[in-house]
Amino acid sequence: MKERFFHEKNVQIVPFFPDTSSSSLEKATGEHEEELTDDVDDDGVEWEDFGFDLEEDEGKNTEKDGGETIFEYKIEENVRKKGHRIKEKDRKLRLEIHKLHLLCLISHASLRNYFCRDKRLHDKLRHILPHKVRELIHPKVKTSEYRNCRMFITALRTIVHIWSRKFKKNKYGLSKSLWKSPDQINRPQNNNLYDNISGFEDFLKAAEDLKGSRDLGAQLFVAFLRSNNIKTRLVAFLQPLSYGFDKSNTLHDSTVSEENYIHEETNKHPNCNTFTTIERFLESIRPFKRPCLDHSITHCSNILNANLGEIKESLHPFYWAEVLNPITQKWIFVDPMVSCLIGKPSKFEQLVSKSGNSLSYIISLDEDGYVKDVTRRINCHITQPYDTIEDQEFLQRQVFEKIPKNIKYLKDHPLHLKKDQFIDSKKPCSFITVKKNGNMVKEPIFYRKDIVTVLPASKWYHCGRKIKFGEQPLKIVQKRIKNSVSDQLDHNISYTTVGLYSESQTELYTPPSVVNGKVPRNAYGNLDIFVPSMIPQGAVYLPFPGISLAARILGIDYADAVVGFKFEKRLSLPIIKGIIVAQEYEEAISLAFRIMKEEEHERLSQKMRNIILARWKRFYRKLCICERLKEYDKDKRPFIAKSLYHFSPYILKDQNLEKNTHFGFKNVPESQKEHLVHNVFTSVASSYDLMNDIMSLGIHRCWKDQFVQRLNPGWLNGEPMNLLDVAGGTGDIAFRLLDYATDVHFDTQTKNAENLTDIASSSINIYTIAFGIRNCTRMMDVLREAYRVLKPGGVFSCLEFSRVSVKPLEPLYNYYLFNIIPIMGEIVAGNRDSYQYLAESIVKHPDQKTFSKMMESAGFRLIGDGYRNLSFGIVAIHTGIKPR
């Protein structure tokens, strides 16, 4: 604490201090805050405001004799608080929120632009425009372009005036988005003061009422112009949340400045309506705590506040229109709701800068939904003023650059001539002084347009041109010659001169013509065809590899075509592609070449077929060896026989040929299959039902329910009936059938389905077999035996796996059968081979149509197609009736 005393006689003294008071510092901070943020705040530190507080101590004010008054002030030396460091994660969070908010604003503008394209909206707004104004926009009488342009601008002013009188503002519009503290977030908001447009129907209702916010009015104005065939774009001024940490982007009680907004009652705009007063505004708040989008501080007109007075709408709009002038083909700025400006975007920029907002994002949306950034057109301060001045200075220097006064500045200069360039001009445009042998000599300077490209005769020949007779080279340069191809030493390289010519000194090269079918050749026995014009007259170029063989076979004269050169191992080698022949031989050579290619293709195909057959033969022999090893019995040694014409051995077991059947993918004797199937189901009996549930995810129960319901066991009207369920397994089908019976008598037997000797003929009403017939050795015997035991009119029904009817599903189903089910069997039942057989037996079972034909062969009359697919044909229900 320091004390200072000021003495003066009969005078009120105000102490003089350096301008470091709190108010002055806040003013200085406000003026230079943005500059400090951009240029100084690189270390992530935000400096807080500070000042000296003056306190007057009345107890120490004394008055001495003689009228001398002593004022004593105590000045507290405030120690500046430690700066608050902004964390890097907070900066990243604000940047991400800024991006997200920007995308939301663009999406909102795009949706409103989509609404403005709707024809129903156009039908409601089209009638607002008077007929006379429409004639000014689309004049029928042809006049000068100047007059049409003036008429168009006049019509736009009239349309803006009409719209401003029609549309009434009674809602809040958008404003600059600010960050809010938690206390401000929790305060109640009156959502009735904002536009409630949740969909197109609300947007259409607003078009009927012609009431809403000024943003809504600008959007409907765009639709109004489009309804009258005026090409219009919707322009949106986007103000997303700032990613900076300066206080101007945070909501405070003093955020709103009265001079930056328009009072609706004092505005002379004709479409102004007043708002009703609302409750007191937000109380004084604490500094920024956490981010939140600000939508309650939207500045609108005539809102009274106890602390701030009136919050008024900003001087600039957030939505406006751009109209294409059909005469000048330029877009015209049109603001129908706030400033009523037409074609004056510079004034709009002044209004924005006065409001404290930044012209960062301005987008335009055309009728097709195309979004374009037009910020540069509105904001002329994208670059700093000194950047513009510097760019103009460089441009001026580039245009009016003077010739260098020293020869060293011309070396490696962009304007310096290259080796293959020549100045084709007699008159220089300027001179440069060069010192030669102690004397100052003037050298001529020429324009760049006088420079022409010059090439040697060999290069022009590669371009299909030759040097005119009597032409002299414009330029002579040195040409390097290698004395030895393999020698790379400098002393083995000598130089000679070569002349360079311009294109004006050349003419088109004309090769010799074809005479009596003979093609001209060069000294190397071929013909140069670097460009199409080098093809001789009467000849044709056939650019097909290998076609020279066809010409040799037919004995036709031809010449190889050299189309360029390639460099390999320091040698220049010609590139030969195709041949040159006389035109009368073109068809014959082409036909011969086509036949040759077909023969070559057939030869390669035959070679590939021979390779494939040889591999199949080898594979077949290996299979035969495997089968012989399986059939070899140590106790009963097989007999090996040889065919007279076939040397592959085969086996005759006991010299008796026994019929084989399939057991999955294996072929086994018919006598063994029953035993093998019995072993399969015995080994998995304990986990049979569990595996069925796991493999089919419980769907097999639905299949069985549909199978029984399709039978409708009550079809005999209460009369006694006999049901036979073959291959019943755990009784799933039998128990479902018994659910329909009132009095039950059942019996179980172990029989072979191919020979039901204990069951009388014509004694069964319903014969069922589910997931069992594919395991039988002879399915036709099973069907015939079922036909025998059924009564006339009895029903045969079979539920069995079949072929998938949806082709795209078939590979996935097969993969599940052969890769997933065996693994499940190994994990759950501990038996992989049994479930491998299950998958193989499903594939070996006949498809739906084949099995239906087998039922017909057994004597059954089919119902419909004889089958009904379940689950895309994974299983099928086959039904047949024994004729009466």
* 768 closest CA partner among 702, 824, 713, 850: 713
Q: Which residue has the tokens 């010659």?
A: 481
851 vs 865: CA distance, rounded Å: 11
CB 803 within 8 A of CB 848: yes
Question: For 491-568, where are the alpha helices, taking DSSP H only?
Answer: 547-554
Exposed (0-12), middle (13-18) or buried (19+): which is 329, by Cβ within 10 Å? exposed
One-letter amino acid at 505 equals Q
Listed in sequence order, the residues at least 6 apart from 641 whose beta carbon sits closer than 8 Å to its beta carbon are 649, 650, 652
371 vs 393: CA distance, rounded Å: 35
Under DSSP, the state recorded for 281 is -
333 vs 323: CA distance, rounded Å: 7
Which residues make beta-bridge pairs with 877? 799, 868
Which residues make beta-bridge pairs with 389? none
Given its phi and psi angles, is residue 621 left (phi above 0), alpha (psi -120 to 50 degrees) or beta?
alpha
241 phi, psi to nearest 5 deg = -60, 135
472 phi, psi to nearest 5 deg = -105, 145
209 vs 171: CA distance, rounded Å: 13
What's the longest Cα–Cα distance across the chain?
Answer: 158
Collapse the DSSP code of 466 into the 3-class scheme (helix H, G, I; strand E, B; otherwise coil) and give the result: strand
Exposed (0-12), middle (13-18) or buried (19+): which is 724, by Cβ within 10 Å? buried
Listed in sequence order, the residues at least 6 apart from 671 whose beta carbon sits closer than 8 Å to its beta carbon are 658
851 vs 867: CA distance, rounded Å: 9
Listed in sequence order, the residues at least 6 apart from 335 whose beta carbon sits closer than 8 Å to its beta carbon are 218, 317, 320, 321, 341, 342, 348
As a whole number of Å, the end-to-end CA separation of the chain is 125
Following CA atoms 618, 620, 623, 625 in sequence, which dihedral angle do they give, to the nearest 10 degrees?
-70
846 vs 707: CA distance, rounded Å: 19
688 vs 682: CA distance, rounded Å: 10
**Per-residue burial over 336-372, b = 16 or more CB atoms within 10 Å of its CB, e = otherwise:** bbbbbbbeebeebbebbeebebebeebbbbbeeeeee
Q: Which residue has the tokens 């990613």?
A: 243
491 vs 483: CA distance, rounded Å: 9
Does 743 carry a binding-site annotation? yes
Does 335 carry a binding-site annotation? no
Listed in sequence order, the residues at least 6 apart from 781 whose beta carbon sits closer than 8 Å to its beta carbon are 754, 755
CB 501 within 8 A of CB 452: no
481 vs 492: CA distance, rounded Å: 9
Under DSSP, the state recorded for 87 is P
CB 673 within 8 A of CB 661: yes
One-letter amino acid at 842 equals I
CB 204 within 8 A of CB 124: yes
Helix axes 214-227, 145-166, angle to 10 degrees: 140
Give how far Cα 245 sits from Cα of 178, 538, 831, Å. 11, 83, 70
Q: Which two tokens stand for residue 783?
A: 């069907």
Feature table: binding site for S-adenosyl-L-methionine: 730, 743
Feature table: binding site: 730, 743
